[in-house]
Amino acid sequence: MTDLRQVLAAQVRNVLRSRWLVGYTLLLLLATVLLLRFGGSGTRALLSLVNVVLLLLPLVSVVFGTLYVYNAREFIELLLAQPVGRGAVYLGLFGGLAIPLSLALLAGVGGPLVVEALQDPSVWRPLAMLLTVGVLLTLVFTAFALCVAVLVEERSRGFGAALLVWLACTVVYDGLILLVLTTFRDYPLEAPVLVLTFLNPIDLARVVLLLTFDVALLMGYTGTVFARMFGTAGGLVAAFSMLLVCAAVPLWAGYRWFRRKDF
């Protein structure tokens, strides 16, 4: 445990000082302020912000995370040459990425929203949801990043794989859902679509966030199915748990490879 804490502290410090992270924080800050100022009133601005969070967060987490691990290769070797277990080094890397990325989100998106919420108390609830889901998504895609960087030996291919993960979760998966919907439109599809949504962290995050903003009706019949499912406290817990599972699975798979990896 103390080993993990030491590695974690060093990694967090290293990532927090990187220009990349500062840039990311400023980008989120800028996007949030601009959307709040010019993005229309109340919910409209928040909805645009949801899209930023859903696209940008996973992209930055998975790409920055993957590249960071490749760059840290020699340092990982140096750490492993110390009397330290591989688990401490691996989790230290994960936390060292996930914590600063989450802090960037809290500062960049959370900061301006808190100012907004001080004037308009109705913003508190969507604010809390947005940040919770955002942190969970950061965990999920940092876990994917580690998994990719451990499994794919070559840096350029790892970068490609990281982009593919992001594309698969954003564009490709939605395309597949649409395909299923159009192909089987004569059948009742609520249950299968619900399951499919549950399996993709970004879709799951989107549904949870949209429901917070009471725009479920805009999503038609499936929207009401979702509202019935996620509107309850139990549904919300299920959704959050599922996001944690989505982070745990790649994290665990990456560790299995990391433990046996030759450096």
Partner 1 sequence: MLLIQGLRKRFGRLEVLRGVDLTAAPGRITALVGPNAAGKSTLIKTIIGLVRIDEGTVLIDGQSIDGERAYRERIGYMPQAARFPEQLTGREVLALVRRLRHADARIDDALIGQFDLDPMLDRPIRTLSGGTRQKLNAVVAFLFAPDMVVLDEPTGGLDPVASGILKDKLIRSAAAGTTVFLTSHILTEVEELAHDIIFLMEGRVAFQGPIDQLLREAGEPRLERAVARLMTGSR
Query: What's the CA gap between 42 and 212, in Å, rounded?
Result: 13
**Which of 3, 33, 42, 219 lies at the binding interface for partner 1 (CB under 8 A)?**
3
Residue closer to partner 1 (CB basis): 78 or 179 = 78
CB-nearer residue toward partner 1: 10 or 219:
10
Q: How far apart are CA 92 and CA 204, in angstroms?
A: 28
Contact by Cβ (8 Å): 192, 180? yes
Residue 261: CB minimum distance to partner 1, A: 8
Binding part of the chain for partner 1, among 5-13, 165-173, 174-182, 201-209 by CB under 8 A, reads: 5-13
Do the beta carbons of residue 68 and residue 97 sit within 8 Å? yes
State the binding string over 78-97 for partner 1 (x if CB under 8 A, else -). Answer: xxxxxxxx------------
CB 144 within 8 A of CB 250: yes
Q: What is the CA radius of gyration of the chain?
A: 19
Is there binding between residue 1 and partner 1 (CB under 8 A)?
A: no
HSE-CB for 233 with a 13 A CA cutoff: 0
The SS3 call for residue 214 is coil
Binding-site residue total for partner 1 (CB under 8 A)? 29
Closest CA to 109 of 94, 95, 123, 93: 123
**128 sits near partner 1 (criterion: CB under 8 A):** no
Calculate the CA dihedral of residues 194, 199, 203, 205 and round it to 10 degrees: 100
Which C-beta is closer to partner 1: that of 54 or that of 89? 89
| Cβ distance to partner 1 smaller for residue 44 or 259 | 259
Site string for partner 1, 47-76 (x = CB under 8 A): ------------------------xxxxx-
The reply on whether position 2 binds partner 1 by CB under 8 A is yes
| Residue ranges binding partner 1 (CB under 8 A) | 2-3, 6-7, 10-11, 13-18, 71-75, 77-85, 260, 262-263
